[in-house]
Structures are given as structure tokens and as C-alpha cells.
């Protein structure tokens, strides 16, 4: 086993180069002023103060969190019933449904969003509604698959035992099925909320350039404005929010697992 441990080294090197070093650079840019040279750094908190003192940036952050939260709620409301009915099907039919759910994901998300741009451009819907449709369409499969996996792992004997003890379908669902599938719901929430809150090309393509989220701000300051310091500060704020969200969902997942045990 020790000889195989050496195979991990290339992946560690890849993580250092592609993840750790860029994150360290973002932190460095976020806490320094614009125009530093290689040997001299001038540290400051002005980038973060600028973000919170200007009313526009917190409002964009709040809009991003609200949109990600509503998108996640819609995905739960639509995805759980879909996954539930898939879990009730015969194995062959369920496998076909899983294929149909995952089939759009074989196409690049950007291409799919461009397709929706053409479809929704003639509907007269507001930019916000078009962004919601794009978000739900792109992230709904993650919710369905996570919930379906959790539901398919439930022992059918537990359902039979619940009915034998006098519980009807509604009571069985609330007391047995739903608690045992909460881990899948929590995992689905993580996979939907985190990319939704940081998405930038969906609101850019479907919002008509008039619906700006926090991801669009980061892209703007890195690509167009060239203010990498302020863009890094926004990225670091978003990274902290994402880490907090992951911590909360992880705690919910552990709680749900302990309750089921």
C-alpha cells in the first residue's frame, strides 16, 4: 500500500498549483492596494470597506442570496416529488428516468443556457423570471438525483412494517420515508445553492445584462475593469459565505443522519 501512496503526489501537486496557489493570490490581492510591485506590498482593508460602505454591492449580494435561496426551494419542491415517483417505479423504468434526467447534463451548461436564451427571448417575461427559469433548469437534476439516491436506499421492509403497525400512506411518508431521505435533500440543497449563488453567465445571458448578481460583479472587476484587488475582495467574501453554507448544510446532514440512527 505504501508504494501506491506515491501515486497521490501528482494529485497533491495539481491541487497546490490549481487550487491553493490561486486562493492565496486572491487573499493577497484582497488585502493589498492596487499597483503593488513584486517586492513591496501595501496592505489595507479598504477593499472590504468599499464593498460594505457602498449600498449597491450589499444589495447585489442580497439579491444573489435571495435568488439562490428561491431557486433551491423551487428545486426541492419540484425535485422531491419527481424523485419520489422515480423511486416508486420498476427498476428498468427508474433507470430510464434517471437517463432522461441526466441526458441534458451531457450538453455543456453554457450551450443549454444559450438555447434557453433563444426560447425565452420571445416570451415577454421579465429578466428576473428568465434567470429563475435558467437556474432551475440547470440545477434541478442535481436535486432529483440526490433525493432519488436517498429514496432508493430505503429498505422496503420499513415501509411494509409501518403499514403493518397501522400507519396509512401519509403517516408512513412523514414518519419513515421523509426522515430517511433528508440526507439526500441536504446534499441536493448543497449542490443547488452553492453554484446558484455564484453563477454569473446565467444572469448575464438570460437577464439581458440588466439583472446583475454577485458573480457578474466579480467577472466585471476581473475582466472588464481590471481592478483585481476589489474583485478579489468580493471573491473572498463569497468564499466565506459558501464555506458557512457548507458548514450549515453539513451540520444539517449530520443531524438528519443521527436522528435516523
Output the domain CATH number for residue 247.
Answer: 1.10.3720.10
Stretch 142-150: mean pLDDT: 94
Specify if 98 maps to a domain: yes
Specify if 2 maps to a domain: no
Pick the closest to residue 66 from 188, 201, 181, 203 (CA basis): 203
**Statement: the pTM of the whole predicted model exceeds 0.75:** yes
149: domain range? Answer: 55-260
Total domain count, the chain: 1
Q: What's the pLDDT tens digit per position in 159-209? A: 888 888 888 888 888 888 888 898 899 889 989 998 898 888 888 888 876
H/E stretch holding 76 = helix 56-88
User: 39-48, 63-72, 106-115: lowest mean pLDDT where?
Assistant: 39-48
Pick the closest to residue 207 from 136, 140, 126, 138 (CA basis): 126
Q: Do residues 198 and 214 touch, judged by C-beta distance below 8 A? A: yes
Q: What is the pLDDT of residue 164?
A: 83
H/E stretch holding 40 = none
Q: What is the pLDDT of residue 260?
A: 61
Q: What's the pLDDT tens digit per position in 54-109? A: 888 889 889 899 999 999 999 999 999 999 999 989 988 989 999 999 988 888 88
- Per cent of the chain over pLDDT 90 is 25
- Other C-beta atoms lying within 10 Å of the C-beta of residue 96: 13
Pick the closest to residue 63 from 187, 196, 190 (CA basis): 196
* Mean pLDDT for all residues in the chain: 86
Spatial CB neighbours of 76, under 8 Å, sequence gap ≥ 6: 143, 185, 188, 189
Q: What is the pLDDT of residue 83?
A: 95
Q: What is the pLDDT of residue 222?
A: 86
Stretch 144-164: mean pLDDT: 90
State the Cα–Cα distance between residues 174 and 151, nearest whole angstrom.
13
Specify if 65 maps to a domain: yes
pLDDT at 247 > cutoff 90: no
Specify if 101 maps to a domain: yes
Specify if 82 maps to a domain: yes
Amino acid at each position: 500500500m505504501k508504494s501506491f501512496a506515491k501515486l497521490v503526489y501528482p494529485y497533491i501537486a495539481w491541487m497546490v498549483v490549481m487550487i491553493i496557489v490561486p486562493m492565496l493570490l486572491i487573499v493577497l490581492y484582497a488585502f493589498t492596494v492596487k499597483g503593488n510591485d513584486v517586492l513591496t506590498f501595501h496592505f489595507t482593508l479598504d477593499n472590504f470597506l468599499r464593498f460594505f460602505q457602498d449600498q449597491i454591492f450589499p444589495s447585489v449580494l442580497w439579491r444573489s442570496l435571495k435568488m439562490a435561496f428561491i431557486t433551491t426551494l423551487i428545486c426541492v419542491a419540484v425535485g422531491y416529488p419527481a424523485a419520489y415517483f422515480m423511486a416508486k417505479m420498476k427498476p428498468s423504468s427508474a433507470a430510464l428516468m434517471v437517463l432522461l434526467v441526466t441526458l441534458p447534463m451531457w450538453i455543456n451548461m453554457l450551450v443549454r443556457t444559450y438555447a434557453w436564451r433563444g426560447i425565452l427571448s420571445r416570451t415577454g417575461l421579465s429578466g428576473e423570471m428568465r434567470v429563475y427559469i435558467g437556474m432551475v433548469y440547470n440545477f434541478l437534476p442535481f436535486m432529483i438525483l440526490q433525493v432519488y439516491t436517498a429514496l432508493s436506499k430505503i429498505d422496503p421492509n420499513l415501509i411494509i412494517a409501518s403499514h403493518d403497525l397501522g400507519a396509512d400512506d401519509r403517516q408512513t411518508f412523514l414518519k419513515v420515508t421523509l426522515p430517511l431521505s433528508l440526507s439526500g435533500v441536504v446534499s441536493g440543497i448543497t449542490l443547488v445553492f452553492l453554484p446558484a449563488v455564484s453563477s454569473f453567465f446565467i444572469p448575464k445571458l438570460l437577464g439581458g445584462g440588466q439583472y446583475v448578481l454577485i458573480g457578474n460583479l466579480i467577472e466585471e472587476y476581473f475582466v472588464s475593469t481590471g481592478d483585481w484587488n476589489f474583485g478579489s475582495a468580493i471573491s473572498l467574501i463569497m468564499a466565506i459565505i459558501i464555506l458557512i453554507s457548507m458548514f450549515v448544510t453539513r451540520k444539517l446532514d449530520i443531524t438528519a443522519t443521527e436522528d435516523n440512527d
